[in-house]
Structure 1
Amino acid sequence: MSTTEFNTDSFRDLTFDLLSGVANDTTKFDELNDAYLNKLHERTDGDNLRRYAREIYEKILSLQIVQSNSAVHLKDSFHERIIVVYFWTFSNVHSLQTLERIIGMDRRYSSAGVTIIGVHSSKYEHEKNKANVRHAVDEHSIPFAVVNDNNLQVWKHVGCQIFPTALVFGPDALPIFIFEGENHVQHLELFLVPILAYYKSSVRAPSTDTLSIKTSPDDLSATSATPKTPRFTYPSHVCVTSSGHLCVSFTGSNQLIFCEIDGKVLDIVGTGHAGLADGDIVQCEFDAPHGLIEYNNCIYIADTNNHAIRVFDPNSRRVVTLIGTGRLGSDKIGGLKRSQQPIASPWDLCITESPFDHKLVLLISMTGQNQIWAYAFEETQWWNDVILQKNSCSAIIGSGTEENRNSSEPMTAGLAGPRGICNGIMNGGPVLFIADSDSSTIRVVTLQDGHVANLVGGNGDPTNLSAFGDLDGSGHNAKLQHPVGIVFHYPSSQLYITDTFNNKIKRVDMKTLMCSSYFVTDTDRKKQRGETNSAKFNEPYGIALFEHYLYLADKNNSHIKCIDLDHGTIIR
């Protein structure tokens, strides 16, 4: 059966109608779900639908499993099981937000008859590489098999349109649901228990041999608990404090380290277990902490998967939650205070002065909402005569629509997965720079009025989020690939960027507005690019400045690198 003979749209409509019916009357959930499944089994084209499902299974089996060099052990997983095929990509924040739920479902239901298979469907060239996907699988501790759909053959066969997408099959290989987008996929678990009950007589328990993630000797060498494995994994962001200390967030081990500038560790903050717990440094928990900034001798933390802003006080050695409920928010306006305000995947932080009353606010790149938010430490005047109330958290830039849209009105601008954010100067005035990752652009915001403009990357079409590459130049002629980290060096008027998926550092000269690759010398020949003495990176992420030194979180290498900007060399 060819793809054109299967009407994916019809399943979209059926799933949507079921979700709508349940939303309208939750008391009829069981009745509506049973009626839906009964009607599905009465379809006259059931054999064709099962043939279609088996074609998908075969295509999945033809792909490399990221955690293994062989896909043979997956074959029996499709037999007499509820199958959830989860399409995702590690650059997409909505995929990552839903991934946490999918991992939880796997842990709760795999022994009851549910098999989850991740299909990593790449957007960027960088994401096509199996090793890079493997790093993402390891960083997020994914327990189920993930296949590398680097040419999008399964994605296209199914007719997927957005990330994430979950396709559900019964134990008889009959397609049941297709959940599309973050808002729909989060409802998937509601249907797993009744589906398991409906198919109780035909669902079998898993065998250890079938469902375990088998690894080759080469793979084992990269993940087994040997002395070569770093204690702290996947450093994300770096902050240098006013006292000259270094703080680093680790998304892989869900911890912070607080250390001397030479790397001597003073404190390890967090248990290492993913969770949301306040307390002292041996009790508190984080879940994928990212951006860091110092304010009033405390470290503010973008605790991404907890959808919260946390605060670490090095003096009391305690962590508290400042903003967020701990659950994914959908509010695109805000205005509530502290932990009453739900937020969505905060990624980076910046302390900025109001251009009107010169009071300081905490800016948050709210990646999950495609916006920039502000937390007011005290009542503060802002753009358009807005008064930010003390201890409130509100959206100040971005409509929430995922776009590369610039605007003189900050709330009508469109951002796309903004990550890094920093202060700077342009044309003699204070600005904000935003690493808008999913549009592969750097945006500049005039602090005086909130005007949002393009600095480098992308193109003129605000709906085109695929104008990425690796080209030096100015404006749209420059091309980036998913930039994340950003910091402004005031003495030289240079903006430094981690061009993360190009594995490069780039910089923009604010005098000429030219964006160019910045190569630094590494005397360690094992860490050089090819035959040159230029340092190589593997997903460079957060960056911070201290005097003339640039500190960089080289994420997939699990290194923190220090670059002497005066000499262009890595010194440790």
Structure 2
Amino acid sequence: MNATTAPELPQGLPWLNAPSGSLLEQRGRIVALAFVNAASAWCGQRLNELATLQARHLGRLQTLVVNVPRFDSERDPQAALKRLRRHGIGFPIAHDANWAAWQAFGIEAWPTVLLIDGEGIIRHRLVGVDNGAELDRSVSALCETLARPIDDDLRSPRESHPEPRLALRFPTGVAATAERLFVADSGHHRILECTHSGRVLRQFGLAAADLIDGDHTHTAFRNPHGLVAVRESLYVADTGNHALRRIHLATGAVDTLCGNGRAGEPVEGVVGQPRGVALNQPLALAASNNQIHIAMGGDNRIWSYDLATRELSARAGSGQLEVRDGSGPMAAFAQPAALAAVHQTLYVCDALGSAIRSLHLRTGVVQTLIGQGPWVFGAEDGPRESARLQHPQGIAVSTDAPQMWIADSGNGSLRTLRLGGGELTSVALPRPLHGPTGLALSEGTVWIAETDAHAVLRYDIASGELSHVPIDE
């Protein structure tokens, strides 16, 4: 691209977790100016890549994040900050609620990273996430032009008003059995096995981000999300490791079924070497017919892993970010984030599509139950054709009642959809929910991962009582 001087960030742009900053004060360093959307899995992946690069080039590279909202709920600065912190991001974050910086820099898509040299000149513009190697090379080449930083520059900037130190940090997935509650404590990179009252019985994962199999006392996960319990096994969508993991509940041992720790293009076929297969941000799981179904947020497709044959297969989705019905690869999803399986139907929660979809497992046909497209969202109850959701991130379906429960994250609410042609209804709760994601059903109870509040809630369906589950270690 032609080298041009970077304009200054618009005046009055609020900074969410750091003192107000400018590009001028960063002169002498390489700046990665990242335009992102907090709800996007692709943006989260790019920010994690930048975190790795900044650690490698400490003192020479500074990443500044400009968050540009997609949903109405993201216009709230604190809600946007929570969403970005779910990714483990501690960079200085500016909130571009009115898209002023987006327009000033001529941005056209999320994520876009502008690499600005020490003289304030834009040297590279990288759009999307398919150019990770190019990003690495470009940053390294620019940093090599700078002198060794002095010791004062080697200290990482501290966030203002960090998240509180609590037992949970951004819990995402929950799974429940008749006697146990499992929680994906994503921010602490671990899985907790609890009683229904919240007493922790076992921890899987060292609370440090890594990809390690073995005994439960020596294993590691990285930002795990979705969970599904099947007999004596708990399956984990280990999102940060781009892997499908399994916990053997009888022994506590953990193994990897597929995934090598890096985002990549999955390939259909028998998985001979689990670490030889790439996945792309698996977010949610469901089980049926001896298969584990995977919502792949990074490639907008639904995959299945056969537990008997160890075969990985693509079920539906073109890879494009759309809400489009059809059969198999003719259909399209918009960041599938939750799954629920009932008989031969797999229900899919499309987070960026604000949609609920169904996938018939025998025919591969995808149909939309609620949703009109990635830019149509709201909070309306009623018939499916007029009902609206906003950035939903969790679903659960009872096998003995034709009713779906939905964590409508953008609206901070719990909602229900009567299957078979029924209407969408909001559940009367005593207060709004803070970024709910994972849901699980067990014997008249809806378990809710209230992610942005670092909590797990219990909703009693019969009484309508909402209570906090004290996760006690």
TM interval, short-chain normalised: over 0.9
Q: Which residue of 1 aligns with 2:428?
A: 519
In the superposition, the TM-score normalised over structure 1's length comes to: 0.78
* Aligned counterpart in structure 1 of residue 334 of structure 2, from 409, 416, 420: 416
1:81 counterpart = 2:29 = yes
Aligned-partner Cα distance in 2 for 1:183–1:75? 27
Q: Which residue of 1 aligns with 2:314?
A: 395
* Aligned counterpart in structure 1 of residue 105 of structure 2, from 158, 161, 164: 158
1:200 corresponds to which letter in structure 2? Answer: L
Secondary structure of the 1:166 match is strand
* Aligned counterpart in structure 2 of residue 318 of structure 1, from 253, 263, 271: 253
Q: CA deviation at 1:190?
A: 1.2
1:183 corresponds to which letter in structure 2? Answer: D
Aligned-partner Cα distance in 1 for 2:179–2:163? 34
Q: Which residue of 1 aligns with 2:136?
A: 189
Secondary structure of the 1:58 match is coil
Secondary structure of the 1:71 match is coil
Q: Which residue of 2 aligns with 1:200?
A: 146
Q: Which residue of 2 aligns with 1:8?
A: none
The question of whether the paired residues in 2 share the 8 Å contact of 1:80 and 1:204 is answered with no
Q: Which residue of 2 aligns with 1:104?
A: 52
Q: CA deviation at 1:512?
A: 4.1
1:471 counterpart = 2:395 = no
Q: Of Structure 1 and Structure 2, which has the larger fraction of its residues in helix?
A: 1
1:405 counterpart = 2:351 = no
* Aligned counterpart in structure 2 of residue 148 of structure 1, from 87, 91, 95: 95
Secondary structure of the 2:107 match is coil
Secondary structure of the 1:290 match is coil
Aligned-partner Cα distance in 2 for 1:93–1:58? 25
Secondary structure of the 2:56 match is helix
Number of corresponding residues: 467
Secondary structure of the 1:438 match is coil
The question of whether the paired residues in 2 share the 8 Å contact of 1:110 and 1:206 is answered with no
* Aligned counterpart in structure 2 of residue 66 of structure 1, from 16, 38, 50: 16
Q: CA deviation at 1:474?
A: 2.2
Aligned-partner Cα distance in 2 for 1:120–1:332? 33
Q: CA deviation at 1:200?
A: 3.0
CA distance 1:166–1:186, shift in 2 (3 Å): farther
1:508 counterpart = 2:444 = no
Aligned-partner Cα distance in 2 for 1:210–1:293? 41
The question of whether the paired residues in 2 share the 8 Å contact of 1:303 and 1:310 is answered with yes
In the superposition, the TM-score normalised over structure 2's length comes to: 0.93
1:395 corresponds to which letter in structure 2? Answer: A
Aligned-partner Cα distance in 2 for 1:62–1:314? 53
2:442 corresponds to which letter in structure 1? Answer: F
Q: Which residue of 2 aligns with 1:382?
A: none
CA distance 1:236–1:489, shift in 2 (3 Å): same
Aligned-partner Cα distance in 2 for 1:177–1:208? 24
CA distance 1:476–1:339, shift in 2 (3 Å): farther
1:484 counterpart = 2:398 = no
Aligned-partner Cα distance in 2 for 1:253–1:347? 17
Q: What CA deviation, in whole Å up to 9, does each residue of 1:294-339 have, x standing for no partner?
A: 1230110000010001111222122111111221112364554443
CA distance 1:291–1:268, shift in 2 (3 Å): same
The question of whether the paired residues in 2 share the 8 Å contact of 1:341 and 1:393 is answered with no
Aligned-partner Cα distance in 1 for 2:256–2:362? 31
* Aligned counterpart in structure 2 of residue 567 of structure 1, from 463, 468, 472: 463
The question of whether the paired residues in 2 share the 8 Å contact of 1:480 and 1:502 is answered with yes
Q: Which residue of 1 aligns with 2:192?
A: 257
The question of whether the paired residues in 2 share the 8 Å contact of 1:335 and 1:393 is answered with yes
2:320 corresponds to which letter in structure 1? Answer: T
Aligned-partner Cα distance in 2 for 1:474–1:195? 55
1:189 corresponds to which letter in structure 2? Answer: D
Identity between Structure 1 and Structure 2 (%): 24
Q: What CA deviation, in whole Å up to 9, does each residue of 1:227-286 have, x standing for no partner?
A: xx3122111011113x52111001111111101111111011111111111122232111
Aligned-partner Cα distance in 2 for 1:210–1:263? 39
Aligned-partner Cα distance in 2 for 1:476–1:240? 32
2:318 corresponds to which letter in structure 1? Answer: S
Q: Which residue of 2 aligns with 1:307?
A: 242
CA distance 1:332–1:128, shift in 2 (3 Å): farther
Q: Which residue of 2 aligns with 1:34?
A: none
The question of whether the paired residues in 2 share the 8 Å contact of 1:365 and 1:421 is answered with yes
Secondary structure of the 1:321 match is strand
* Aligned counterpart in structure 2 of residue 94 of structure 1, from 30, 42, 52: 42
Q: Which residue of 2 aligns with 1:119?
A: 66
Secondary structure of the 1:133 match is helix
Structure 2 gaps, min length 5: 469-473
CA distance 1:280–1:211, shift in 2 (3 Å): closer
Q: Which residue of 2 aligns with 1:526?
A: none
Q: CA deviation at 1:552?
A: 0.6
The question of whether the paired residues in 2 share the 8 Å contact of 1:302 and 1:346 is answered with yes
Q: Which residue of 2 aligns with 1:212?
A: 157
Aligned-partner Cα distance in 1 for 2:364–2:336? 16
Aligned-partner Cα distance in 2 for 1:205–1:85? 23
Which has the greater radius of gyration? 1
**What is the RMSD computed on CA atoms of the aligned residues?**
2.1
Q: CA deviation at 1:223?
A: 3.3
The list of structure 1 runs, each at least 4 consecutive aligned residues, that deviate by more than 6 angstroms after superposition, is none
Secondary structure of the 2:298 match is helix
Aligned-partner Cα distance in 1 for 2:111–2:311? 31
